[in-house]
Structure 1
Amino acid sequence: MNRRLLALSVTARLPHGMFSVAVLVHVAHVTGSYAVAGACTAVLGVGQAVGGPLAGRLVDRHGQTLVLAISTGGCALGLVMLALAGRGAPTGRLLVGSVLVGLCAPPVGPCLRALVPDLVRTPSARRRAYALDAAITEITWVAGPVVTFAVAGRYGTGSALVAAAVVLTAAVAGFASCAASRRWRPAPVVTARPSALGPVDLRVLVLVLVGVGVVFGATEVAVTAMSASLGAGGAAGPLLGLWGLGSLCGGVATARSATGGAQTGRGLALLLAALAAGHAAPAAAGGHWLALGVLITVAGSMIAPVLGTAYGMVDRIAPTGSRTEAFAWSATATAVGSAVGAALAGVLVEEAGAAAGFLLAAAGAALAAVLAGTRLRLGARTDGPGTAARAELPAGPTRTTPSVPHAPHGPQDPGRSPRRDVR
């Protein structure tokens, strides 16, 4: 994997880890209403869920450069609109700005993953590359809120939004200028370009990732609630940081392994079962901080391996000419699941305590495991009607393949809602 490309993609995804928190904090500051702030955060999430697959489809038709440029401009405009909104700003303006940020969020993650088959040759090396990407992306979701609060505390809440816009614009420009992204062209298809959700296995995998998203949303609520119930609400941040650290370690270990993750539905089901067990365990931690820290780190260690495996499967079964859109649907699935998990966990935590949130997370992973083990076949590649498999098509003059012969092999390779909305 090209190190500069990976580093720029991670930097470009750092603002994604800032969006929800920065919008929430700024809108609450200028309106004095958490109801309005929550509404803006919600429409931002809806915009991301709708805009991700749409942007992915446009990339698959027109290439990465133009789509990344237009989407970045729209997203930066929305961030600046919000930053310039002062006290008494109309709610409608705040909502429009929030929708614009979510709808136009540039699909850097899906674009990078769509490049992996051209950068890395063997299937096992590709799986390791996806695992490394899932692991390193954790940095953005740990650092995003920290950067937001640091900038907002020193320079004001609007400054955090401006900082996100500046970093986003510069990093995406750098990513789009890399030869691998600049020269990438949509894969040729024989007839009409198929729907990304055409293959049954891909639809099953999207549902599996909704279950994984439930884990994310429920765990964030559960950790926050448990910290507050023990009189140390500030501990939620470090605990979630340990969660992300566990995922980073798990992803690096998977990237260094021989296989790079599971290859079958049953293999993914085993990883999901481990994810379920790991997230059920913190429910028994009670008030023991050391035990909670250890257990949440262990629970996180299965996140990147699960996502890396899922990305490898998306690459394997996505229809020819719809690879980027397929990766965007995987991100949308986790975002939807995260929203559902957070909402359900909020109700459960109110009624039964923080432990119920962890059990909900475990249930989401367990259901995903059952679905993967029983419905995910991963048979022969199933492209849309009249569409040849990618391996059967000649390279053609429309695609330039960068010469990067090796896969990433560990943490020495430098360059992920509200967490993980756009993995």
Structure 2
Amino acid sequence: MGSYTELLKTSGVARIIAAQLTARFPSGMLSLAFLLHVEQQTGSYGAAGLVLAATSIGQAIAGPLTSRLMGRLGMRPVLTATLVVCASSVIAIGVLPLTVPLYMAVGLLCGLATPPVQPAVRTIYPKMVNSRQLTPLFSLDASAQEIIWVVGPVVTTFVSTQIGTVWGILLAAVMMIGGTTWFIASPELGRVRIPRSKRRFGTVLARPAVLLATVVGFLLIGACAAVEAGVVAAFGHDGAEAGIVLAIFSIGSLAGGLTLGHVPISPWSTARRMLIVFVGVSLAAFAMEFWWLAVTLFIAGIGIAPALAVLFSIVSVSVKFSDTAEAYGWVGTGQLIGAALGSAAAGFLIDGYEAVGAFWAASVLAFLGVVVPALARRWHPDLRGRDASPIPDTEPVPVTPS
């Protein structure tokens, strides 16, 4: 834990982590808030699902596009413009009496304008700490983001059911505005400028490590989404069991990230950490009982944040600084598509085989998440004793006082 204490004492690190977590907190709120609100307004979960799908499609498209724009226009202008559009769209869904097609259109706009906070902060990190601290910082960040997925749904459910669905959406909008404004105002954004990339859009995917991180992220988050659907199907919406089990799943990830974050990254690291996830979700499929799922999913969770930390690190070390934001945008898009397809596959299997079907889907995705990096280990960077910072651009990167 000493390495994390040292990190948090580094100038600006604690502030930027807190700001970006607050800005991204609505990610753990909006899907559930939209689901509850649109279902209440239309009387159809199917309609609510269409709105969520439109929002996810917008986010998947926007990820690499808005991230690349930060190199052309600057981080603060892009973050500010997307914040205005996205927050306005969120508020519109909450307060306007819309038809389902209009809900979908506004949801798509909301997704397209999602502020690219995650690519921005991943780009800033290498300029804030030395190379020795970078991998632990990625691990700390991946662990801390579990707070979003533990607390966000709980807060949304409480506000939406006890006060009203409109207020659940408006609370998410307030968090988005406040957190993103705090992040935009952070001095670190003024000290670092992303150089304009000289390569064509999408070329960064030709980097084997970026493609590997995108594919493994797709499989990992797809498995997690299937697990979430399976847990809800096993316990239903009425009791507290589903929320408690999913919280334990996230706590396992938090514990794993803090415990394994300092372990050096080798070509086998991604496969080994994904193996932990596979073992946990595979064992979970044997019994849909509360304590069994709590224990097995805690085990599975131990591999999640460490695996994400490895993916962030191998992307960082494999691309030029001017391409880092776009690269992380592609990785985020892979994860979003994984979440959508993982949920869809789980839904079909739940209909046919009840809750256990979702865990079958999660097990297959997690198994592929072991196989892919194992087969691709020759393209997996070996960071043992190596600087994890991005490849420098040929021209100097301006660093100006805030």
TM-score, length-scaled by structure 2: 0.89
For residues 140-171 of structure 1, the C-alpha deviation after alignment (integer angstroms, 9 at most, x for no partner) is: 11111111122223432111211111111111
Matching residue's letter, 2:115: P
Aligned partners of 1:342, 1:155: CA distance in 2, in Å?
28
- Is 2:128 the counterpart of 1:119? yes
Match in the other structure for 1:248: 254
Matching residue's letter, 1:94: Y
Match in the other structure for 1:173: 181
- Is 2:170 the counterpart of 1:159? no
| 8 Å contact from structure 2 (residues 123, 324) kept in 1 | yes
Correspondent of 1:281 among 280, 283, 292: 283
TM-score, length-scaled by structure 1: 0.85
| 8 Å contact from structure 2 (residues 58, 111) kept in 1 | yes
Q: Quote how far apart the aligned CAs of 1:233 are.
A: 4.8
| 8 Å contact from structure 1 (residues 194, 319) kept in 2 | no
Match in the other structure for 2:362: 361
Matching residue's letter, 2:105: V
For residues 19-65 of structure 1, the C-alpha deviation after alignment (integer angstroms, 9 at most, x for no partner) is: 11111111111222222211111101111111111111111222210
Instruction: Rate the CA distance shift 1:143–1:320 in 2: closer, same or farther, 3 A.
Output: same
Instruction: Rate the CA distance shift 1:32–1:274 in 2: closer, same or farther, 3 A.
Output: same
- Is 2:223 the counterpart of 1:212? no
Aligned partners of 2:357, 2:27: CA distance in 1, in Å?
29
Aligned partners of 2:401, 2:248: CA distance in 1, in Å?
38
- Structure 1: which 5+ residue stretches go unaligned? 382-388, 403-423
More moved, 191-200 vs 61-70: 191-200
| 8 Å contact from structure 1 (residues 78, 101) kept in 2 | yes
Q: Quote how far apart the aligned CAs of 1:299 are.
A: 1.2
**Which has the higher relative contact order, 1 or 2, with Cα contacts under 8 A spaced 6 or more apart?**
1
Match in the other structure for 2:116: 107
Aligned partners of 1:236, 1:277: CA distance in 2, in Å?
21
Instruction: Rate the CA distance shift 1:220–1:190 in 2: closer, same or farther, 3 A.
Output: closer
Matching residue's letter, 1:240: L
Q: Quote how far apart the aligned CAs of 1:270 are.
A: 1.4
- Is 2:51 the counterpart of 1:50? no
Instruction: Rate the CA distance shift 1:380–1:145 in 2: closer, same or farther, 3 A.
Output: closer
Partner secondary structure for residue 145 of structure 2: helix
Q: Quote how far apart the aligned CAs of 1:222 are.
A: 1.4
Residues matched between the structures, number: 384
Match in the other structure for 1:237: 243
Match in the other structure for 2:137: 129
- Is 2:79 the counterpart of 1:79? no
- The share of aligned pairs that are identical, in percent, is 29
Instruction: Rate the CA distance shift 1:284–1:391 in 2: closer, same or farther, 3 A.
Output: same
Instruction: Rate the CA distance shift 1:32–1:351 in 2: closer, same or farther, 3 A.
Output: closer
Q: Quote how far apart the aligned CAs of 1:132 are.
A: 0.7
Matching residue's letter, 1:241: A
Instruction: Rate the CA distance shift 1:190–1:18 in 2: closer, same or farther, 3 A.
Output: closer
Match in the other structure for 2:204: 196
For residues 374-414 of structure 1, the C-alpha deviation after alignment (integer angstroms, 9 at most, x for no partner) is: 12434789xxxxxxx83363544x23499xxxxxxxxxxxx
Match in the other structure for 1:70: 81
| 8 Å contact from structure 1 (residues 218, 357) kept in 2 | yes
Matching residue's letter, 2:25: L
Aligned partners of 1:379, 1:299: CA distance in 2, in Å?
23
1:286-297 equivalent positions in 2, closer than 5 A: 286-287=288-289, 289-297=290-298
For residues 178-200 of structure 1, the C-alpha deviation after alignment (integer angstroms, 9 at most, x for no partner) is: 11112321136677787321313
Aligned partners of 2:20, 2:352: CA distance in 1, in Å?
41
Aligned partners of 2:348, 2:199: CA distance in 1, in Å?
49
Q: Give 4+ residue runs of structure 1 displaced > 4 Å after superposition.
A: 188-194
Q: Quote how far apart the aligned CAs of 1:74 are.
A: 0.7
- Structure 2: which 5+ residue stretches go unaligned? 1-6, 8-12, 383-389
For residues 106-153 of structure 1, the C-alpha deviation after alignment (integer angstroms, 9 at most, x for no partner) is: 11111111111101211x421111111111001011111111122223
More moved, 67-76 vs 186-195: 186-195
Aligned partners of 1:379, 1:134: CA distance in 2, in Å?
20
Correspondent of 1:92 among 93, 101, 108: 101
Match in the other structure for 1:263: 266
Instruction: Rate the CA distance shift 1:315–1:66 in 2: closer, same or farther, 3 A.
Output: same
Matching residue's letter, 1:294: V
Aligned partners of 2:323, 2:197: CA distance in 1, in Å?
10
Instruction: Rate the CA distance shift 1:291–1:34 in 2: closer, same or farther, 3 A.
Output: closer
